[in-house]
């Protein structure tokens, strides 16, 4: 399994407004669904920040997103451990296939692949 990127997910009431100075640092909007904004560096596309109000599908917001090349293999690998799956694997309407797992320190990790 290959990790394509790891991105912090920052919960905020106003994702667009919270981007503040990030464009001045070179980040640009990659995706804006209203409830989530993904900012990316054009010169290093793996350098990203996600700003999120409330996840549109899950009952909990992730703290970290990890994009992998094979989310189904990642899901099976995580299920083989004693980790808590807090959102089962699913194909989302916006083109992601993902699941959430709670890390040992309590943080929620969104493990995702994009179709």
Assess whether pLDDT exceeds 90 at residue 1.
no
Per domain, the residue ranges of the chain are 3-114
Residue 27: the pLDDT is 95
Q: Which CATH architecture has domain 3-114?
A: Roll (3.10)
Enter the pTM of the model: 0.90
Residue 17: the pLDDT is 86
The CA-atom distances, in angstroms, between 29 and each of 34, 40, 74 are: 12, 6, 28
Chain segment 55-109, per-residue pLDDT in tens: 889 999 999 999 999 999 999 999 999 899 999 999 999 899 999 999 999 999 9
Tokens of 23: 């464009």
Assess whether pLDDT exceeds 90 at residue 113.
yes
């Amino acid at each position: 399994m290959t990790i394509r990127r790891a991105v912090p997910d920052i919960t905020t009431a106003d994702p667009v407004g919270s981007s503040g100075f990030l464009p001045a640092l070179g980040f640009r909007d990659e995706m804006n669904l209203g409830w989530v904004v993904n900012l990316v560096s054009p010169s290093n596309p793996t350098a990203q920040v996600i700003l999120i109000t409330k996840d549109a599908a899950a009952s909990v917001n992730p703290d970290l997103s990890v994009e992998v090349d094979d989310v189904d293999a990642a899901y099976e690998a995580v299920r083989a451990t004693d980790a808590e799956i807090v959102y089962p694997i699913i194909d989302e309407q916006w083109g992601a296939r993902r699941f959430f797992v709670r890390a040992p320190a309590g943080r929620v990790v969104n493990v995702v692949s994009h179709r």
